[in-house]
Amino acid sequence: MSFILLTKMTIKNKFKPTVSEIKILDVIWALKSATVREVYNKLSEFEKVGYTTVLKFMQIMTDKGFLEKDDTVRPQIYKPAVPQKETQRSLVRDLLERAFGGSAGSLVIQALSMKNTTREELHEIRELIDQLEEEAT
């Protein structure tokens, strides 16, 4: 029984990276794959961070299933274990349920009202709405 519970917890938490883990994932998603040094160099452009801290985070993220490590080469190369869009969807789905009672409309209204939206983004949103309306009829 505890094995099943553990498995469900692992699956449930698998796609919920922390803010720091998302910063690391952003770098690796952009580069497709990276060494610890490459991630450290990119992160240190924007904030003060230690090399060993980045290393430890990436080791933990590998254990959690966020990253895959190729240790047949030196230095070791890390790549994302889960595509960016899949991770984003999981995070949004969780936020949607916890903070917006499952209402996608409320989430979208809040998101659009908080930040200036580009014409390109508005065009994509309109296309998606048109597609969803078409599918609903």
Taking residues 29-38, report their average pLDDT.
Answer: 98
- Residue 37 near residue 75, CB atoms below 8 Å: yes
pLDDT for 5 beyond 70: no
Say what angle helices 51-64 and 36-43 make with each other, to 10 degrees.
120
Residue range 44-82, pLDDT digits in tens:
999 999 999 999 999 999 999 999 999 899 999 999 999
Q: State the distance between the two ends of the chain, measured CA to CA, in whole angstroms.
A: 45
pTM, 2 dp = 0.77
| DSSP state for residue 78 in the 8-state scheme | E
